Amino acid sequence: MPSVFKLFSCSHFADSSCYFPCFFPAGFFLGFMFFVLLWLPVFLFLNHYSFSKAVGQGGGSSYSIVGDGRITAIRVWEVYNNYIYGFQLCYGVVWTPVVGYVSAKELKLNDDERIIQISGKHSHYIQSLIFVTNKGRSLQVGQPSGHSFNMYPTHPDAELRFLSGWVSGPPTAFQAHWAVVDSDFTDD
């Protein structure tokens, strides 16, 4: 057996009487601990981010609606009580570009209100959307026909952060991205 796999004394601990299989020198242990402590906050943050599986058939050009800070309002357009024709998010007081076409229903969020669930129906297009807030308010748009979907974050304190998907005229696919927002890092 090569000497690297022999049992060595734990010289990097105060009690040198303990033994364990050492595959690397003692300096590796200290370097590994430094690496863990350095990257631990990043790994903890990643547990607060999730995204929902995309719905719709897709096709067309990809999109991603992203802004700075928290979402403060949402606009959704529909075709005469039929499929979703477009949507737009507001971050603070700044509206993102419209995905799809224009003529909207709008839900303005209160300061302590967050979007925590999106459900609806899809077929070739996104047929209907229901945005639900942590205060129990909702915005329902479109005609409920097609395949049902329900999107929500995996972390209980997370909220909707941005949307992505595909658009070919109207949106053909839709995906929600969720994260815990640390108010220390936002301008609200």
What gap in Å lies between CA 107 and CA 139, rounded to an integer?
A: 6
Question: Are residues 58 and 41 part of one domain?
Answer: no
Domain identity same for 163 and 123: yes
Indicate the pLDDT class of residue 5, thresholds 50, 70 and 90.
very low
Paired tokens of 89: 């998010």
Residues 38, 56 share a domain: no
| Residue that the structure tokens 């529909």 belong to | 78
Check residue 39 and give left, alpha or beta (phi > 0: left; psi -120 to 50: alpha): alpha
Same domain, 13 and 60: no
Confidence of residue 11 (pLDDT cuts 50, 70, 90): very low
Q: Are residues 11 and 91 in the same domain?
A: no
- Element spanning 179, H or E: strand 171-179
What confidence score (pLDDT) does residue 172 get? Answer: 87
CATH of the domain at 131: 2.100.10.30
pLDDT score of 47: 59
CA distances from 52 to 6, 11, 57 (A): 48, 48, 15
Residues 161-188 pLDDT 10s:
988 888 888 888 889 999 988 765 444 4
Residues 40, 126, single domain; the answer is no
56 and 101 share a domain? yes
Q: What pLDDT was estimated at residue 87?
A: 85
pLDDT reported for residue 119:
95
Q: What tens digit of pLDDT does each residue of 15-57 get?
A: 444 444 444 455 544 455 555 555 545 544 555 777 777 787 8
pLDDT mean over 87-103: 85
Query: Could you tell me if 70 and 34 lie in one domain?
Result: no
Residues 25 and 76 both lie in one domain: no
Quick one: pLDDT at residue 27? Answer: 52
Residue 69, domain extent: 51-185
What are 109-143's pLDDT values in tens digits? 999 999 999 999 998 888 999 999 999 999 998 88
pLDDT of residue 23: 47
Same domain, 114 and 61: yes
Mean pLDDT over residues 142-165, rounded? 91
**Percent of the residues in the chain that have a pLDDT greater than 90, as a whole number:** 27
Looking at residue 53, its pLDDT comes to 77
Q: Which residues contact 52 (CB under 8 A, 6 or more apart)?
A: 118, 151, 152, 175, 176, 177, 178
Q: How many CB atoms lie within 10 A of CB 164?
A: 17
The answer to whether the CB of 118 falls within 8 A of the CB of 52 is: yes
Residues 73 and 163 placed together within one structural domain of the fold: yes
Average pLDDT over residues 93-101: 86
CA distances from residue 110 to 14, 163, 187 in whole angstroms, order as listed: 56, 20, 16
Are 28 and 55 in the same domain? Answer: no
